Structure 1
Amino acid sequence: MIENKISTSYKNDIQKFKIFCDETGRKEDEQSFLYYMYNSIENERVKKTTWEKRVVAIRKYLTVTLGIHFDDSIRSKIGTMRTMYHEDDKMDLIQVKGKSPGYAPYNFRKTQVLSMHAAGADLSTIAKQTGHKSLETIDKHYLEVSDPTVDKYL
């Protein structure tokens, strides 16, 4: 059961859909919804997370405001559109959970800590250079003791 209230967080997505329908001379219905969602992937190249939010927002709008209910064929077409994000030319539109695109500041900091440690710098020098207040944090989160390092001190 879909609640009969539209979240204010959907306002922008709904407004874009209305503008799209107006500019293309389309009626606000299921077919316009499908065409808009397809256009969002192919022409706008929106991120998958944005696309998913649009699906929910516009579906909610059409259901609550216009009383349109989506049958299995519409759900199936949306499911098929989702698979478009796995095409080679659209893989960049998927944000992998837990992975940031490119390099994160943590990666640079860890590289610096490891390089300084390998060069023989003591933990307090590394902490000062990298802005850490706790030597324990450096030891626990950044440094890994390798077998050659252990062997060197035996």
Structure 2
Amino acid sequence: MDKVIEKKTFNKKTIIIIAGVIAFLVLVGYGYSLSLNKVFKVEAEKVTISKVQYGDFEDVVLLNASVVPLTSVIVSSSEGGTVAQIFTENGASVVAGTPLLRIANPNALSSYTASETSITEQINQLRKLRLDLEQNQRVMSQDMMDIENNLRTASRKYKIDSTL
């Protein structure tokens, strides 16, 4: 007699596959929910609001590169001088504004000092003139007050004398 063997609908392999699919769907759903929450909080002081301006859009791309000159140029100074110190050597990398060398020119330095002295003297003369002007204004104001006082005294005296 043969017995009918009932076939199990869920075996270990099927349960593991279903659990894996459910876990995958939960992870996908969680990732999707995170992508929906696209709120970026910024402090109010860091937000700038301004009027929209229309114009050409200029795209800027920053690159790191090495620059090699095609030609070298000899720079001549109109006033002349001697090289006092060299800051960079041949082939060294430099950026805009990096000093390459220092030129010493005693004649230019003395003329600069003389012009600076002249400017300082002119500033001092202007200060002295301003102080003199203020002093003259004070003296004239004092004189004006004395004259007005003398006028009041004289007019009072005239009124008294004219009534007598």
Q: Report the TM-score when normalising by structure 1.
A: 0.20
The structure with more radius of gyration:
2
**Higher strand fraction: Structure 1 or Structure 2?**
2
**Higher helix fraction: Structure 1 or Structure 2?**
1
Higher relative contact order (CA 8 A, sep 6+): 1
